[in-house]
Amino acid sequence: GESVGLHLPTLSVQEGDNSIINCAYSNSASDYFIWYKQESGKGPQFIIDIRSNMDKRQGQRVTVLLNKTVKHLSLQIAATQPGDSAVYFCAENKNTDKLIFGTGTRLQVFP
Amino acid sequence: DTGVSQDPRHKITKRGQNVTFRCDPISEHNRLYWYRQTLGQGPEFLTYFQNEAQLEKSRLLSDRFSAERPKGSFSTLEIQRTEQGDSAMYLCASSQRDRPSSYEQYFGPGTRLTVT
């Protein structure tokens, strides 16, 4: 079936540590994956994306890894800051422009 | 602010009433999307437009829901005879499909609907 799920509903990390948020997807036909950050009361904010022909992509303090063999996606945030506290969603796109989102992981950063 | 805007931000209505939401996409973005998000869940796709043409509708979009984008710019989403199950955040997003990184969808702040 079509589903994008997340392993952990809540992740707590100490400020300055690295965070890793994981996501499993079930549809091997997906060709594009995106990570969004959503703060309370706001719409999702684009973080980083990756196409299925890549296995790694880096942005500013963030890295996305794609393992197509096990259908796994991860978001790594370096030196996590209090402003990173939010819910993170992975989403997939199968060339239909319709994004399929998972249920999200809440990242809590404590001092 | 040149981002996606939505109006109103909050709407409280009684069951059975009709409501209409508006979305203004990023200027010149040719694709516009509507999603619905309930508490603790990720957004669910409802429908999308390329310019003024509605290209896809989810089965979630019952007969009580209608969306328009008459001039290919702003869009409206109307819900008729609202039900308590319609209570959710309604998100709008836009993208420019013909650019290299065109899969990026930029979201607005959403309209939170509460049906009492």
Per-residue pLDDT of chain B (116 residues), as tens digits, is 579 999 999 999 999 999 999 999 999 899 999 999 998 889 999 999 999 999 989 988 889 999 999 988 999 999 999 999 999 999 999 998 765 555 789 999 999 999 99
In this predicted structure, the answer to whether residue A97 has a pLDDT above a threshold of 80 is: no
Coil vs helix vs strand at A105: strand
Residue B102, φ and ψ in degrees, nearest 5: -75, 0
Distance CA A25, CA B42 (A): 14
Looking at residue A67, what is its pLDDT?
A: 93
The position carrying tokens 């890894």 is: A65
Query: Do the chains contact at A46 and B104, CB–CB below 8 Å?
Result: yes
Name the burial class of residue B47, with classes exposed (0-12), middle (13-18) and buried (19+) by CB atoms within 10 angstroms of its CB: buried
Give me chain A's average pLDDT, please: 88
In this predicted structure, the answer to whether residue A68 has a pLDDT above a threshold of 80 is: yes
Which pLDDT band, with edges at 50, 70 and 90, does A2 fall under?
very low
The position carrying tokens 């869009």 is: B75
Interface test with A, best of B46, B54, B105, B106 (most A CBs within 10 A): B105
Distance CA A78, CA A9 (A): 20
CB A4 within 8 A of CB A101: yes
CB B87 within 8 A of CB B79: no
In this predicted structure, the answer to whether residue A46 has a pLDDT above a threshold of 70 is: yes
Phi-psi bin for A16: left (phi > 0), alpha (psi -120 to 50), beta?
A: left
Name the burial class of residue B58, with classes exposed (0-12), middle (13-18) and buried (19+) by CB atoms within 10 angstroms of its CB: middle
CB A93 within 8 A of CB A32: yes
Distance CA B104, CA A103 (A): 19
Chain centroid, CA B65 distance in Å: 11
Looking at residue A102, what is its pLDDT?
A: 80
Least CB–CB distance from B91: residue in A43, A100, A103: A43
Tell me the nearest-neighbour CA distance from B73 into chain A, angstroms. 18
User: Cis link prior to A44 (omega < 30° from 0)?
Assistant: no
User: Cis link prior to B8 (omega < 30° from 0)?
Assistant: yes
Looking at residue A93, what is its pLDDT?
A: 84
Identify the closest residue of chain A to B34 by CA–CA distance: A98
Query: Do the chains contact at A91 and B42, CB–CB below 8 Å?
Result: yes
Looking at residue B51, what is its pLDDT?
A: 92
Looking at residue A22, what is its pLDDT?
A: 92
The β-bridge relationship of strands B10-13 and B111-115 is parallel
Distance CA B53, CA B98 (A): 16
Instruction: Choose the weakest-confidence range: A57-66, A93-102, B6-15, B25-34.
Output: A93-102
